[in-house]
Amino acid sequence: MSWGTEQQGYEQGYGYGYGQPGYGQQPDPAGYGEQQYVYPYPQQYGDAGQYADHGQYTDHGQPYATDTAPLPVVEPEPEPEQAPVPEPEREATAPPAEAKRPARDRYFDTLRAVALVRVVAYHTFGWPWAGMLFPSMGIMFALAGTLMAKSLERPAVTVIRSRVRRLLPPFWFWGFFVVVAMMVHDWMPGWQIVFWVVPLGDPPGNAWGEQAWEVLWYLRTYLWFVLLSPVLLRVFRLAPVPVLLLSLTPIVVFHFVWEPADDRFGTALTDLATFLFCWMLGFAHRDGVLRKLKPGPVAAGSLAALAYGAWYAFTHQAETGSYDLDDIPLAQAFFSAGFVTLLMYAKEHFAIDFALLTRFRRLDRVVTIFNARAVTLYLWHEVALVLAVPLIDQFWNVPAFETYLPLESQWFMFGIGWILIVGFILLCGWVEDVAAKKKPRLLP
């Protein structure tokens, strides 16, 4: 997930996050309200007369010396309501609202929020067609690639350090509870526990905690993409379109020529190859490559990739027992490539920004929270679903609940799961603030 990630988000977000300093009006660093007003000379105010220079007054246009002539009796002139401020000073003391920071891209924020909801739904219901309806993983890798390309406008070492810092503390906090729970249930780790410190490979665990830690493949793949991005971006910029198309080559080679071993290293290679195109597509969006492409070839290529991915999944069900894209890397790679390309190109071609979302304040608030707590939501959602089962079992002991609540329905479990997810966001989301060197907040 881009989380945090990237979600995160996100210091290297598409701008600056809602609810953070800089969104809306800012404090007045110049001490507005304490400035001294200067009356520039000469200056005219409406129908009032003109003040002359050099210590002289005028009488019907004829000057006379103030040291010899008596002062004429004149009607008092109306004072101006407020003296005009000279132009340079007016610019320096402009109201803070005029200097707004750029807003976040609500189109991308909405895609990430929907992707997270789809992930939770998939892990609740197990729908094999969910990946074809909305390939969440491909979308999140593409969004993370866009953010990474933007961030790499700064020194690569600084960017990588920042991304790793934002990712690892939430992972450590979550991992502490999962590891302790597995050890209580008769699991003793070996040297592989180092992958619970830096997840460059799949962390070990026992079957009792598998449902909780099986989601870590995304964090492992994301971390490798972050580390490789300085090189990948440099290669991409040598020949953007050819390199983007060739990024599908590794998964084709792994599937038809040489299949990596089914171990920690081989699985990591396969996942990197599966979503390499989506990550590079994020580079293409950030560098404006998609904007330069013509709609016809983009649509044709994307639909062809979608068709091939779906065809391969449906015609090779015997190998995995399902057409679920998560079980068929080649189909996942091509279907995600076609789907995400259409989403990213549509944004550029039609200038989609979802700015109207801000009119629906509650929905916009939910999207904001989902993006600012993306790592927390992703890590804890499986734990929430696991805990929902024994919690619902206790409901059967209450006659009213047994009679009136649909305790056997998966939709009821889905709802209880989201209640627990919200609880984890409130209890654990502050870790993302600490990781980002921000003041901990209950909600962003």
Q: Is the pLDDT of residue 424 over 90?
A: yes
Mean pLDDT in the chain? Answer: 82
Against a cut of 0.85, is the pTM above it? Answer: no
Distances (CA, A) of 39 to 79, 80, 83, 92, 254: 12, 11, 6, 17, 77
Length of the chain in terms of residues written: 444
Residue type, 178: V
Q: State residue 14's pLDDT score.
A: 35
In this structure, the number of other CB atoms found within 10 A of the CB of residue 74 comes to 9
Lowest mean pLDDT among 75-89, 153-167, 203-217, 278-292: 75-89
Distances from the Cα of 160 to the Cα of 59, 118, 284, angstroms: 76, 29, 20
Supply the DSSP symbol for 129: T
> Looking at residue 403, what is its pLDDT?
93
User: Does 222 have pLDDT greater than 80?
Assistant: yes
Residue found under tokens 């050099």: 54
Confidence at 189, pLDDT banded by 50, 70, 90: confident
Say yes or no to pLDDT of 274 above 80.
yes
Summarize the confidence of residues 428-443 as an average pLDDT: 94
Q: Which of 437, 382, 413 is nearest to 219 (CA)?
A: 382
Q: Is the pLDDT of residue 304 over 50?
A: yes
Arithmetic mean of pLDDT, 249-254? 97
Q: How many angstroms separate the CA atoms of 80 and 51, rounded?
A: 14
Q: What pLDDT does residue 2 have?
A: 40
Tens-place pLDDT, residues 124-142 = 999 999 999 999 999 999 9
Residue 385 in this model has a pLDDT that exceeds 80: yes
The lowest-confidence range among 242-256, 266-280, 307-321, 347-361 is 347-361
User: Is a pLDDT exceeding 70 seen at residue 1?
Assistant: no
Percent of the chain residues past pLDDT 90, beyond the cut = 70
Give residue 105's pLDDT.
86
Residue 374's pLDDT band, with cuts at 50, 70 and 90, is: very high
Q: What per-residue confidence (pLDDT) applies to 6?
A: 39
Cβ–Cβ < 8 Å for 382, 212: yes
φ and ψ at 383, to 5 degrees? -60, -40
The more confident residue out of 89 and 278 is 278
All structural domains of the chain with their residue ranges: 106-436
Q: Residue 88 corresponds to which tokens in the numbers above?
A: 């340079």
pLDDT value at residue 100:
47
CA distance 68 to 275: 92
What is the per-residue pLDDT for 74? 43
Which SS3 state, helix, strand or coil, does residue 58 take? strand
**pLDDT tier at 103 (50, 70, 90 boundaries)?**
low
Q: Which residues contact 217 (CB under 8 A, 6 or more apart)?
A: 202, 267, 271
Residues 94-120, mean pLDDT to the nearest whole number: 76
CA distance 160 to 157: 5
pLDDT in tens, 36-95: 333 333 333 334 333 334 334 344 444 444 444 444 444 444 444 444 444 433 333 444
Report how far residue 174's alpha carbon sits from residue 215's, in angstroms, rounded to the nearest whole number: 12
Alpha carbon distance 345, 285 (integer Å): 8
pLDDT tens-digit profile of 140-174? 999 999 999 999 999 999 999 999 999 999 999 99
Look at 211 and 47; give whichever has higher pLDDT: 211
Residue with tokens 């995160």: 8
